[in-house]
Amino acid sequence: MLIINHSQVRELLPMSDCIATVAEALAALSRGEGLQPLRDGLLLPDHQGVLAWMPGSLASGKPFGIKVLSVFDRAADFGLDSHQGGVMIFDPEQGRPLALVEAGAITAVRTAAVSALATDRIARKDASTLAILGAGTQARSHVEAMLAVRPLKQIRLWSRTTANTERLAAEQMAKHDTKIEVVADVASAVEGADIICTTTSAREPILAGELLEPGMHVNAVGASIPSMRELDVDVVRKATLFTDRRESLTNEAGEYIRALEQGVIDDDHSVTEIGEILNDAHPGRTSTREITLFRSLGLAVEDIASAQLVYERAVQRGIGTRIDFAG
């Protein structure tokens, strides 16, 4: 079995390649190929963290696997990511473990890559102004991802911690040679924006529907359990809703569940999977004034497809640490 660490994943998984990889996985999943159970988890006794596991299988003849990770908000106090763990992939013919790939780097890249895929297929073609809410790992990845699919002229950044926002802005301006403006509040960030990315750990809404303007596209990625919400119910009501997996949305997206409970939407509310657009079963955006929302849940097949690509490249380049795992 090959062990592939964080820095090796980042070397082997460029954003553009990851976008293509998750597109193939999501298109196949929407065609009924592969398996994607709902994630599960264990709340630790002190309620300070969660052990989560996400199994899945790609199309026939391709690896299956599982992502296992701890989710600790207080990990940041120690200079660590909140999500720590690994993605383990298995040979589909023999069942032997092929690789254990560091999950933090996989998650950082593939989450933003799926947002980029959704943006490329749904956002207006002339979208040029980006607002990112949040200043953590996903905010960083989403700057790169959005630049990969749209020629942005203006980027605005907001988070609750100004020092973190300013540090991220300076880092990303140097990396991408583009101007990034730090703003004082959410309203200033999203006013006139074409693309909005919510990348926070908020448990209560930070983006209100009243702030949305015709033609906007929203990528919401920060909340993945029903008790967390980045968007208020009015965002769900006003926007045409897209997701990576319908079953995950209806069971795990707090914004969608709350909108149903409050009667803002009903069970017949239209929800389209990105894979359906990729398979030409849905047109995506239908007008320049339509408000669109991609509610990302994050799927194991996205992790497994990305880990497979990393594994194949690691073998080709002689990267990683090989261990005799089975004995």
C-alpha separations of 266 from 101, 218, 220, 236, 286 in Å: 40, 21, 21, 11, 22
The pLDDT of residue 266? 94
The pLDDT of residue 82? 78
CATH architecture of the domain with residue range 2-106+301-322: 2-Layer Sandwich (3.30)
Given the structure tokens 């955006």, which residue do they identify? 285
The pLDDT of residue 97? 96
The pLDDT of residue 74? 81
- CATH topology for 124-299? Rossmann fold (3.40.50)
Question: Alpha-carbon distance 184 to 317, whole Å?
Answer: 46
Domain extents in the chain: 2-106+301-322, 124-299
Residues in CB range of 254: below 8 A, 6 or more apart: 223, 225, 226, 227, 228, 229
C-alpha separations of 92 from 21, 251, 300 in Å: 18, 29, 16
pLDDT tens digits along 265-313? 999 999 999 999 999 999 999 999 999 999 999 999 999 999 999 999 9
The pLDDT of residue 86? 98
The pLDDT of residue 327? 65
Sheet with 50-57, strands from edge to edge, namely: 40-43, 50-57, 64-71, 83-90, 97-102, 2-4, 321-322
C-alpha separations of 220 from 22, 86, 93, 115, 233 in Å: 17, 24, 37, 8, 13
Question: Alpha-carbon distance 318 to 140, whole Å?
Answer: 29
218 and 153 Cβ atoms separated by less than 8 Å: no
The pLDDT of residue 152? 96
Rg of the chain (C-alpha set): 19
The pLDDT of residue 265? 95
> For the chain, which residues score pLDDT lower than 50?
none
pLDDT tens digits along 188-219? 999 999 999 999 988 899 999 999 999 999 99
DSSP state of 35: B
